[in-house]
C-alpha cells in the first residue's frame, strides 16, 4: 500500500452545483502517472498543503487514462480550501485504496444504477467504465435523483447519457425541487424505482446516495424481488483516515476503508444497522 502522497496538478475545475466541484488532476511526475492504475469504486486521500487531507472516491473511469477526477462537496476546512484552489495549483494524492465494484461479475448482465445527489460520483466511475466496454453488458439503466434541479451533478453527462440509444435514463427531483423547463420526473428515488418495476432476473443493481435513500431503495428492491446478493453499494461517505487506523468507519466488525468501501447488500444485512 502506497502511503506517500503524489503531487497532482489541477488542470480543470467544473462547478457542478452551488457546493460541489469536480477537479481533474494530472500527475506532476509523468512516470508516476503511467504506472498508476485503479479500479472503479476505489478511493484516495486528497491533501491541500497546510490544511489537511480528506477521503473521496475516484470519480473518473479507469478506462480513461492520463488523469483522475474527484468531485468534492464543500463540507469542512479541507474541502473549503480545495474549493478555493485554482487551475494550475498543486495538491497531494495518496491511493488507490479499498476494494472495487465486481465488474467481472456484471458482464453479460443488465445493470441498474441508482444514485442520489453527490452519491452519483462513485457510480460515474463505473458507468463510464461499463460504457467504454459497452458490448460486454446487456441493458444499462440509470436512475438518478436529487433534492432539486440545481442539486443535480454532472448535468452535461446526464444529457449525454440520455441521448445515447444504448442507455435508458430516468431522472427525478424531490417534490418541490422542480424548476421551469424540467422535463424529468418529480418524486423520491425509491418511489420512482417502484413505479419503474425493473425485472430482477438477470439484473445487478449498483446504488449510492444518502443513507435514507439507500434504506428505502433496498426496501423497494426487496419488494420487487431482487436478491440482496445482486445489489451492491459503496459506503465511502463513512470514511475518515482511509487506512483503518482512526476507527471512524467501522460497522460492527467491518472497517469500511479496509473491508470496503464496496459491499454486497447481502453482506450488510449481517451487520448492525449503523450504515
The per-residue pLDDT string of the chain (275 residues; one tens digit each, 9 = 90 and over) reads 678 889 999 999 999 999 999 999 999 999 999 999 999 999 999 999 998 999 999 999 999 999 999 999 998 899 999 999 999 999 999 999 999 999 999 999 999 999 999 999 999 999 999 999 999 999 999 999 999 999 999 999 999 999 999 999 999 999 999 999 999 999 999 999 999 999 999 999 999 999 899 999 999 999 999 999 999 998 776 666 666 666 666 777 777 767 778 888 888 777 666 55
- The β-bridge partners of 186 are 173
Provide the CA 274 distance to its chain's centre, in angstroms. Answer: 20
- Cα separation, 108 vs 246, whole angstroms: 39
Q: Are strands 203-208 and 231-234 parallel, antiparallel or unpaired?
A: parallel
pTM of the model: 0.92
In this predicted structure, what is the pLDDT of residue 258? 73
| Cβ-contact 56, 43 below 8 angstroms | yes
Predicted local confidence at residue 164, as pLDDT? 98
- Is the bond leading into 65 cis (omega within 30 degrees of zero)? no
Amino acid at each position: 500500500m502506497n502511503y506517500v502522497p503524489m503531487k497532482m496538478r489541477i488542470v480543470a475545475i467544473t462547478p457542478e452545483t452551488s457546493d460541489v466541484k469536480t477537479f481533474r488532476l494530472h500527475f506532476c511526475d509523468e512516470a508516476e502517472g503511467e504506472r498508476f492504475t485503479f479500479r472503479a469504486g476505489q478511493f484516495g486521500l486528497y491533501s491541500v498543503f497546510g490544511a489537511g487531507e480528506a477521503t473521496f472516491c475516484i470519480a473518473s473511469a479507469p478506462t480513461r487514462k492520463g488523469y483522475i477526477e474527484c468531485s468534492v462537496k464543500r463540507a469542512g476546512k479541507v474541502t473549503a480550501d480545495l474549493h478555493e484552489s485554482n487551475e494550475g495549483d498543486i495538491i497531494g494524492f495518496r491511493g488507490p485504496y479499498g476494494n472495487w465494484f465486481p465488474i467481472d461479475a456484471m458482464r453479460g448482465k443488465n445493470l441498474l444504477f441508482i444514485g442520489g445527489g453527490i452519491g452519483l460520483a462513485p457510480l460515474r466511475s463505473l458507468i463510464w467504465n461499463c460504457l467504454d466496454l459497452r458490448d460486454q453488458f446487456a441493458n444499462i439503466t440509470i436512475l438518478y435523483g436529487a433534492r432539486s434541479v440545481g442539486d443535480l451533478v454532472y448535468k452535461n453527462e446526464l444529457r449525454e447519457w440520455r441521448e445515447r440509444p444504448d442507455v435508458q435514463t430516468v431522472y427525478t427531483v424531490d417534490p418541490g425541487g422542480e424548476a421551469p423547463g424540467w422535463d424529468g420526473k418529480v418524486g423520491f428515488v425509491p418511489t420512482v424505482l417502484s413505479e419503474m418495476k425493473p425485472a430482477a432476473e438477470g439484473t445487478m443493481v449498483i446504488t449510492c446516495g444518502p443513507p435514507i435513500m439507500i434504506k428505502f431503495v433496498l426496501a423497494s428492491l426487496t419488494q420487487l424481488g431482487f436478491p440482496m446478493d445482486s445489489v451492491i453499494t459503496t459506503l465511502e461517505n463513512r470514511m475518515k483516515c482511509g487506512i483503518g487506523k482512526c476507527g471512524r468507519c467501522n460497522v460492527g466488525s467491518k472497517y469500511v476503508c479496509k473491508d470496503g468501501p464496496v459491499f454486497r447488500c447481502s453482506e450488510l444485512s449481517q451487520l448492525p444497522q449503523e450504515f
